[in-house]
Structure 1
Amino acid sequence: MKAGHKMGTAMRRFAALILLATPLPAIAQNASAQNSVTEVSIDQLRSRMDKGQDSSVDITRAYLDRIAAMDRKGPTLRAVIAVNPDAVAQAKASDARRKAKKLLGPLDGIPILIKDNIETRDPLPTTAGSLALKDNLTHRDAPVVALLRAQGAVILGKTNLSEWANIRSTKAMSGWSAIGGLVRNPYGLDRTSCGSSSGTGAAVAASFAAAGLGTETDGSVVCPSSINGLVGLKPTLGLVSRTYVVPISHSQDTPGPMARSVRDVATLFSAMVGSDPGDAATRDAGKYRKDFTAGLAGASLKGVRIAVYRPDMSPLIATRFDQALAVLRAQGAVLVDVQRPKTDGMGDAEFDVLKFELKTDLDKYLASTPPSVKTRTIDDVIAFDTANADAEMPYFAQEIFDMAAKSKGTGEASYQAQRDKSLSLAKGAIDGMLKQADATILVQPTYGPAWLSDPIYGDQYNGPSSSELPAISGYPNLTVPMGLVRGLPTGLSFIGPAYSDGKLLEAGYVYEQASKARVAPTYAPTADAGAGVEGKP
């Protein structure tokens, strides 16, 4: 017991110092530099560099200033696990290319943050938030990162996340990891940033970078995007490679772009799509690679039929949703209310699939890590967590890991039947609602406002969620800010069939430009609950 306690103390010390151990190069930490990148788009940053008003080094240092001033100080968002010591050098290389008129692409010189379950070849470990992977320094780029780097993007650092992408426990507190601590929502610091891409959500909302990468298995891009006032795209499964991404499920995992505008998401997504020989699901992705920003300016909803699904929701969310529908209607869309087909048993089937694939896929990933990583299987991770319980399990346990480890993985006799069941029901539900309306786009609220972060009971939210059907089916889901409820963001989801990502971006852009619903964060200590909680005198 004593030995375990000493080890836990050492682990906690490592978790507290990992950000500080990565030096912030040449940072002035002045307010004017920080403000120069606040709420600034990728196009605006590129224009500044093209005109010689700013260099990539200036912009990179300004973002590093904001991180230094706000992530472990000020509002203490804990959104960034580590900054990249090579970021300024990458920015200098971009400035040299710009001077030589040899730019690599639209992202050249643009600082991007990467969720810390996605590998980069920079001198940073990929930890998935777990101390078991604190030495996972692979020196390899995930193909999705390599594509961004090929366009000259500056890899600014790695973002915090719900540990192991929120798959360890049914009682997890979203946004917490042993390495990064608890991510705080910039709209209400006592509220969740959702998960598992919580760090990317909070960081991009706080203008710690121009944009960022998240990953989703079921909700982990669209929930933190919606709850942090961002645009986020969960792409069609198979458009973006998952190689060298710490896995949960090869049936559902996908990286996705997160940013403060539809255009910025489209810009990032354009660089992410591509075939990868190491990921069979992407074999056709090259056919769909294009500039997804090209159709935005001329996009229109006139005469476009849109299916409208109204899940159970509070009156406050319903009011926001009705306002969003009014915007779509004013842009010429034809709205048709639909009923969701029954999907009895789908959630249980999905959970079985995730457990079985977690066992197989995580074991395969861990076997590929450097010898410095001592946890080579999910059983090893469970043993590590148990030995270091005070650091790794202070709030919740690892019952999902335990269930996965006891299974035969994808060798379970029921695996394929459960996958076929969940996939059929999810596709059938979306296809059925689109058919009811003779439409190619479905809209519904993404999520309601953020719930309180609760280390005792874990996540407590029971409102509407758009993530399940697109996640299981592999269909795309785009969330766009829908306005605030009691000071907290909500999102509007645009969902469509496979490979309709571009159409969803165009529809989301029209809505975004007409609604102007996004509001910048204020870093309030708590959300405004309304005068009604005090009662009448």
Structure 2
Amino acid sequence: MRALIVLSLAVTVSTVTPATAQIAPKIEEASIADLRAMLASGTATSESITQAYLARIAAMDRTGPTLRAVIATNPDALAQARAADARRKAGKPLGPLDGVPVLIKDNIETLDPIATTAGSLALKDNVTGRDAPVVAELRKGGAVILGKTNLSEWANIRSNNSISGWSAVGGQVRNPYALDRTPCGSSSGTGSSIAASFAAVGIGTETDGSVVCPSSINGLAGLKPTLGLVSRTHVVPISHSQDTPGPMARSVRDVATLFSAMIGTDSADPATAKADQYRKDYTASLSGASLKGVRIAVRRPQMGPDLAARFDAALAVLKAQGAVLVDVEQPKLDGLGEAEFQVLLYELKGDLNAYLATTPPAVKTRTLADVIAFNEANKAAEMPFFGQETFIAAEKTRGLDDPEYLGARAKSLRLAGKEGIDAMLAKANATILVEPSYGPGWLIEPIYGDQYQGPSSSELPAVSGYPNLTVPMGLAKGMPVGLSFIGAAYSDQKLLEAGYVYEQASHARVAPRYLPSADVGPGMDGSK
């Protein structure tokens, strides 16, 4: 499978023709605004920009730093780019994303002739010929679907001992800041790809942390939106209570631009019933945004001195911008983790079975039980590092009418929302809560799996369905760390505005250097 991926990359890049082999546009660290300026001025076409990204992927993803962030490029990408160029020439562009290449996490279906695998060999033939509605929304706006990104297999739900960023289809994703460090997951490839400028923007998905963590750890801005603003149809599922696609980019403005194009009501996803009410340009209010007099609740979890220093510096920026900071402590939320896990187990079985039933006949795994059997039969390829005990536990659940499930969902929702985020905001009389997103990326560990014990901002907004925006706040121990802006349901715009003000005042993001290991500073690595 990996040989086929390399071949597809080589074939795609070889389509550069003399007519389009002009001076390659500068795409490294380029924003959507930069790309649009190139297109408007005629210094680049969408085709030349797309070719430049494909060439960068070919040079860096399976060679060079070998990030393994892209599972497959789209053989139709250049044709889509040429169509965008034709629209522009005719004076009929479709919107701010017209002609802009976008990378899509490989658990989200696209109608392009590439499989949606969730990183599993069980889905290697899952070429559905259909767009997930979130992709259809991007396509309506003229976005070029550049390819599919690698991920933690099955979005990190197969095992509690999994390795973030590893999949049987794509191998191990690497962090562009330090190649021996985790990219986090499960949107690992999207995080690594966008940090490495394989595209300006990309889509990840989150159940609990899978947008926020790889965004934070790869030096990106990333939004886990309010649940129900973005459709989940034709996305390989874990949990209808918590799953959502989310935008990831190197700036808050680019996150807002992509997010604006993702929102929409989908009749097949009841959670999105209100989404059309929130369709708008989320970039429109950014330039005039202010934090003067805005009350912000501050949660200070236990953290190491390097992360604490970055967090203190971030709080100083917020204060200098006029924010009123009020410290709060997280209430005791006993049993939240256990209740959330029960919900995920029950919903995984029901939701995945429903999804697999809609896949093409070439996909032989039609149920979770089939996937478990497939993994056992293909243990050498699928389970060289960790098992599938979470899948097995999910298969034993008894259905969504089980009192155990209903009680766990009610409990987790109450603890995360009313008694968690809502209570902290109310205590501070605030509309925004800030805390560190995650600590710096840990070493990739194939024997013991992910080894992380630091703070995490993801659980409460993930379980409650509330939005969580992470924004870079610099480097700790040589690795990126992020600042989370969390609010109540449908406060996404407020969070984007606050994050933008912070970003513009702090200029904290640092571009990656593709080091073999983290640059932790004198003395911290044993040197003098």
Counterpart check, 1:210 vs 2:200: yes
**What is residue 478 of structure 1 aligned with on the other side?**
469
Deviations 1:468-519 (A, max 9, x none): 0000000000000010012200000000000000000000000000000000
Structure-1 separation of matches of 2:424 and 2:453: 23
2:319 counterpart of 1:332:
no
Q: 1:534 to 1:417 in 2, by over 3 A?
A: closer
Partner of 1:207: helix, strand, or coil?
Answer: coil
Which stretches in structure 2 are left out of the alignment for 5+ residues?
none
Provide the secondary structure at the position in 1 that maps to 2:298: strand
1:252 alignment partner in structure 2: 242
**Length, aligned pairs only:** 524
Q: Does 1:347 align with 2:337?
A: yes
2:166–2:172 contact (8 Å) kept in structure 1: yes
For 2:220 and 2:151, the matched residues in 1 are separated by 16
- The 1:410–1:34 alpha-carbon spacing in structure 2 relative to 1, beyond 3 Å, is farther
Counterpart secondary structure, 1:506 = helix
Whether the 8 Å CA contact 1:476–1:495 is kept in 2: the answer is yes
**In structure 2, distance between residues paired with 1:71 and 1:469:** 34
Q: Do the aligned residues in 1 keep the contact of 2:216 with 2:438 (CA within 8 Å)?
A: yes
Paired residues of 1:250 and 1:361 also in contact (CA < 8 A): yes
What is aligned with 2:131? 141
Give CA-to-partner distance per residue, 1:365-395, whole Å, 9 cap, x none. 0000000000000000000000000000000
> Could you list the per-position Cα deviations for residues 223-254 of structure 1 after superposition, in whole angstroms to 9, with x for gaps in the alignment?
00000000000000000000000000000000
- 2:232–2:243: 8 Å Cα contact kept in structure 1? yes
Q: How does 1:435-446 map to 2 (within 5 A)?
A: 435-446=426-437
Partners of 2:467 and 2:488 within 8 A in 1: yes
Q: Deviations over 1:389-433 (max 9, x none)?
A: 000000000000000011123233311110000000000210111
Quote how far apart the aligned CAs of 1:53 are. Answer: 1.1
Question: SS in structure 2 opposite 1:258?
Answer: strand
The runs of at least 4 consecutive aligned structure 1 residues that moved more than 2 Å come to 15-23, 25-35, 528-537
- Structure 1: 5+ residue stretches without partners: 1-13
Q: Contact 1:141 / 1:244 at 8 angstroms: preserved in 2? A: yes
The CA distance in 2 between the partners of 1:531 and 1:207, in whole Å, is: 29
1:108 aligns with 2:98: yes
- 8 Å contact kept, 1:136–1:370: yes
Corresponding residue number in structure 1 for 2:439: 448
The residue type equivalent to 1:503 in the other structure is K
Find the counterpart in structure 1 of residue 220 from structure 2: 230
Alpha-carbon distance in 2 for matches of 1:209, 1:273: 21
Question: Hey, what's the Cα distance between the residues in 2 that align with 1:32 and 1:302?
Answer: 48
Q: Which residue in 1 is equivalent to 2:518?
A: 527
Does the Cα contact within 8 Å between 1:356 and 1:412 map onto a contact in 2?
A: no
Answering whether residue 373 of structure 2 is matched by residue 383 of structure 1, we say yes
Instruction: Say if 2:67 is the partner of 1:77.
Output: yes
Map 1:250-289 to 2 at 5 A.
Answer: 250-289=240-279
**Secondary structure of the corresponding residue to residue 341 of structure 2:** helix
Q: Give the match for residue 320 of structure 1.
A: 310
Structure 2: which amino acid aligns with 1:496?
Answer: G
The answer as to whether partners of 2:183 and 2:192 remain within 8 angstroms in 1 is yes
> Contact conserved, 1:28 with 1:65, CA < 8 A, in 2?
no
What does residue 53 of structure 2 align with? 63
Distance 2:346 2:519 in 1: 42
Give the SS at the match of 1:375: coil
Partner SS, residue 466 of structure 1: coil
Cα 1:536–1:15 change in 2 (3 A) is closer
Q: Indicate whether 1:494 and 2:485 are aligned.
A: yes
1:34 Cα deviation after fit: 6.6
Cα distance between partner residues in 2 of 1:524 and 1:268: 29
* TM-score, length basis structure 1: 0.96
Q: Taking structure 2 as the reference length, what is the TM-score of the superposition?
A: 0.97
Matching residue of 2:382: 392
Percent identity over paired residues: 71
Q: What SS does the aligned partner of 2:483 have? A: strand
The one-letter code sitting in structure 2 at the alignment partner of 1:108 is: D
Partner of 1:431: 422
| Cα drift, residue 60 of structure 1 | 0.3
Q: Which residue of structure 1 lines up, in the alignment, with residue 176 of structure 2?
A: 186
Contact 2:24 2:48 in 1 (8 A): no
Moved more, 470-479 or 24-33: 24-33
- 2:5 counterpart residue number: 18
> 3-state DSSP class of the match of 1:92?
helix
Q: Which of 287-296 and 403-412 deviates more?
A: 403-412
**Matched residue type, 1:24:** T
| CA contact 2:478–2:521 (8 Å) conserved in 1 | no
Give the counterpart letter for 1:49 in structure 2.
L
Aligned-partner Cα distance in 1 for 2:59–2:94:
31
CA RMSD of aligned residues (A): 1.6
The amino acid across from 2:414 in the alignment is: S
Name the amino acid aligned to 1:450: G
Deviations 1:126-148 (A, max 9, x none): 00000000000000000000000
Query: Do the aligned residues in 2 keep the contact of 1:445 with 1:464 (CA within 8 Å)?
Result: yes
